[in-house]
């Protein structure tokens, strides 16, 4: 009789533990879903903010170019020349190093 009671108690304990584990798993699933949704919302808000800042910068650049076309042209030419010189110097220095070693 005592063995039957012990077996019954153990079975009840296993059932309770199983139910507790299932409840805990369900809560964890809800937490993960809620946190994932919050992260996706935050990412979407950030992307909208970046898009707005980019559109504002483009609009400001267009306005400045319209207000000062000669300065914009000179600046673009200077930047292009500087990038061309830097690229030429970089490629020439790589070519010299290839001959050395």
Asked whether the predicted pLDDT for residue 99 surpasses 60, the reply is no
- pLDDT, position 1: 58
Counting residues of the chain whose pLDDT is more than 90, the rounded percentage is 66
pLDDT digits 0-9 by tens, 14-50: 777 888 888 999 999 999 999 999 999 999 999 999 9
CB 24 within 8 A of CB 17: no
Where in the chain are the domains? 1-67, 69-101
- pLDDT, position 96: 63
């Amino acid at each position: 009789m005592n063995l039957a009671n012990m077996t019954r108690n153990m079975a009840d304990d296993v059932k309770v533990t199983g139910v507790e584990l299932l409840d805990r798993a369900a809560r964890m699933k809800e937490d993960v879903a809620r946190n994932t949704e919050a992260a996706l919302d935050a990412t979407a808000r950030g992307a909208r903010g970046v898009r707005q800042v980019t559109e504002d910068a483009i609009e400001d650049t267009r306005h400045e170019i319209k207000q000062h076309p000669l300065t914009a042209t000179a600046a673009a030419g200077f930047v292009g020349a500087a990038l061309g010189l830097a690229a030429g110097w970089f490629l020439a220095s790589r070519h010299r190093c290839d001959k050395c070693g």
